[in-house]
Amino acid sequence: YSEEDLYRPNFHFTPKKGWMNDPNGMFYKDGFYHLYFQHYPNGNTWGPMHWGHAISTDMVTWKEMPIAIYPDEKGYIFSGSAVVDINNSSGFSKDGIVPIIAMFTYHDMDAEKAGKTNYQSQAIAYSLDEGQTFIKYSENPVIKNPGIRDFRDPKMVWDSIHEKWLMVLAAGQKIMFYSSQNLKDWKQESDFGTGIGGHGGVWECPDFFPLKVQGTNEVKWVLLVSINPGGPNGGSATQYFVGDFDGKQFKIDPSFKNDLNKKENKSIWIDYGRDNYAGVTWANIPDADGRKLFMGWMSNWEYANAVPTETWRSAMTVARTVELQKVNSSYKLLFKPVKELTNYRGTKLEMESVTINGSTKIIDSKSINLSSAEIYFQIPDLKNSSFTFKLTNIQGDTLAFGYDNSNKNFFLDRSKSGKTEFSEKFANRLSMVKRTSLNPDLFGTIILDKTSIELFFDNGETVMTEIFFPNSPFEKLSIESKDQEFTLGSIEIHKLNIN
């Protein structure tokens, strides 16, 4: 197998060549979803950061575009966001063209090497050609460094409730809140994070947005905060907070705070797998669509620079919707793959009421390409069941995942999934998470590509995303259970014809 054949994902975004990390500056405009990303085009490990660019009409197939923002004498171009300035509040419009405003962090390498601590500042740039190229603002930086070493990753959002632009910024192990009328002059309003949430590492790549609670008219504000290290199963991960915002200050909801206090690491995570980091949401999604749309970087700083691909490094997750639900009097985010994926369905395989008392059942062998598939399954009465799904290939590589009733954990085990030795951190433990749903039945969705699995349990209440590098494609899916009475209620496997 060539590296392309074996490891280039069928439908997860990767750059053609070079290094990639965080998704940046995502916005929607006139039929196109834009994705920018932390990119080093001249090497396959992290280096001088550019903003790479890709566009899509459905968030499933992507077209890579020329690099949108290059580093310059002020520094590398670190993570940030972009907004569509419909009313020209910035004044950057020309000839009636709607400007797109990007805000990013300048990382001044020379200042860092010289031992200074004030080397990160915030800058803006605008595009008058649909996000293809950006003109850097002459008065940059728009927010100077106040003497904080980690001071980065501005995420802007239009606050239609308080009618102003907001921006959240990671500063050490806190989030700073800013507001603006013109996207150039920013006022610090407040900060959040002291004594609350996970503090196992530096806070990075925040996102902040209002979201309607499903089935009600109640609106809550959601704060996403990526942290590295300190994740639930090691390394980088993204935690979230639910609360209220008065235009100046974010206040965590008491019931959510109560939930946080019950967790051993004081965090609630958007994903309990090891490979969903620095994810943020799209700006400017039309009201008629109404969805909150998210994408994350499908890797982990513990081994991202060492994964066994040479031409490119890293992929993004599939685009996901973010929903807010009231569960047991508190709030919970649900993440689900976007419905656009189903437009690519090909061959389908279905099975119902598969009983496998204490043994193994092969679900599929070869008839569906398991390197490009979407799987739905249902297990009735989970409280009495343990089960393990296994993906295997002729080399004997195995990726295992399932539910263990003895400790009520979902688990994902890539320790025998193929190439793992490139980093001692990659497969040193199983990823596990306690089930939170009280539903007697379990519904699950599995998204499979050549080198990734995305597990959405309980309608997206618990998510696990991980990457793997088998020695040949996985071609067999089986399920096993040691229980005396185990029934897989149903399973539906769709081949996805994308690439």
Report the interface residues with ligand FRU, using CB under 6 A. 21-22, 38, 49, 78-79, 105, 152-153, 204-205, 278
Residue 265: CB minimum distance to ligand FRU, A: 20
Residue 304: CB minimum distance to ligand FRU, A: 9
Residue 24: CB minimum distance to ligand FRU, A: 8
CA distance 408 to 384: 10
Q: Which residue, chain included where needed, has tokens 């705070």? A: 257
103 vs 278, beta carbon nearer ligand FRU: 278
Q: Burial level of 322, CB count in 10 A (0-12/13-18/19+)? A: buried
DSSP 35-66: EEEEEETT-SSS-S-EEEEEEESSSSS-EEEE
Q: What are phi and psi of 178, to 5 degrees?
A: -125, 160
Q: Give the tokens for residue 45.
A: 């490990």
CA distance 284 to 279: 17
Q: Name the 3-class secondary structure at 304.
A: helix
* Region label for 183, one of left (φ > 0), alpha (ψ between -120 and 50) or beta (otherwise): left
Give which of 371, 299, 311 is closest to 23, Cα–Cα. 299
128 vs 148, beta carbon nearer ligand FRU: 148
Residue 296: CB minimum distance to ligand FRU, A: 10
226 vs 481, beta carbon nearer ligand FRU: 226
Decide if 22 is catalytic: yes
Which residue out of 5, 22, 30, 259 is catalytically annotated? 22
38 vs 81, beta carbon nearer ligand FRU: 38
CB atoms within 10 A of CB 18: 20
CA distance 291 to 288: 9
CA distance 362 to 372: 18
Terminal CA-to-CA distance of the chain, rounded, Å? Answer: 18
278 vs 319, beta carbon nearer ligand FRU: 278
Amino acid at 38: Q
CB atoms within 10 A of CB 45: 11
Q: Give the tokens for residue 497.
A: 């014809």
Residue 34: CB minimum distance to ligand FRU, A: 18
Q: Give the tokens for residue 335.
A: 């993440």
Residue 202: CB minimum distance to ligand FRU, A: 8
Residue 29: CB minimum distance to ligand FRU, A: 24
32 vs 46, beta carbon nearer ligand FRU: 46
Whole-angstrom CA distances from 4 to 11, 23, 315, 366, 499 are 13, 22, 13, 21, 12
CA distance 461 to 473: 29
Q: Give the tokens for residue 237.
A: 């991960």
276 vs 451, beta carbon nearer ligand FRU: 276
Residue 203: CB minimum distance to ligand FRU, A: 9
| Residue pair 285/291 in contact by the 8 Å Cβ criterion | yes
130 vs 150, beta carbon nearer ligand FRU: 150
193 vs 418, beta carbon nearer ligand FRU: 193
| Residue pair 84/284 in contact by the 8 Å Cβ criterion | yes
CA distance 187 to 167: 10
DSSP 388-426: EEEEE-TT--EEEEEEETTTTEEEEEEEESS--TT-TTT
Q: Which residue, chain included where needed, has tokens 């060492």? A: 306
Residue 208: CB minimum distance to ligand FRU, A: 16
**Looking at the annotation, which residues are catalytic?**
22
